[in-house]
Amino acid sequence: MSVVVSGIIDSVNECCQKAGLKLHTVEFSLGIWGKTEKLPSNDILEVTTMCGHGLVSANLVKSLVGEIKAGTKTPEDAAKELTPNCTCGIFNPVRAVKLLAAMAK
């Protein structure tokens, strides 16, 4: 069985030790490099980065926020539309509802 845990390495290692497990692979994020001004806004990134493979489109998120603002879609319906785009299954639709609703205000 393979399990992916994301967090502060010291905390993750401590949890693994308590569970009698040994770390197999560790990846580190070194931040964001390059032309960061070309990235979507932070609120859009909060939604799109919930998929570890980058399969949730920033433009789709923007479009859905527009539909929520116009009253043609609810945040729940928008989150349901975004969720299947994440094939890894990590996308959190409950969190997406809250983020989309906040962006639409």
For 82-91, write each residue's pLDDT tens digit: 999 999 889 9
Beta-carbon contacts of residue 101 (< 8 Å; ≥ 6 apart): 68, 75
Please report the pLDDT score of residue 77 as a whole number. 98
Q: Which amino acid is at 104?
A: A
| pLDDT tens per residue across all 105 residues of the chain | 777 787 888 999 999 999 999 888 888 878 888 999 999 999 999 999 999 888 999 999 999 999 999 999 999 999 999 999 999 889 999 999 999 999 999
With H, G, I as helix, E, B as strand and everything else as coil, classify residue 17.
Answer: helix
Scored b (16 or more CB within 10 A) or e, 34-56 reads eeeeeebeeebebbbebbeeeeb
Question: What's the predicted TM-score (pTM) here?
Answer: 0.74
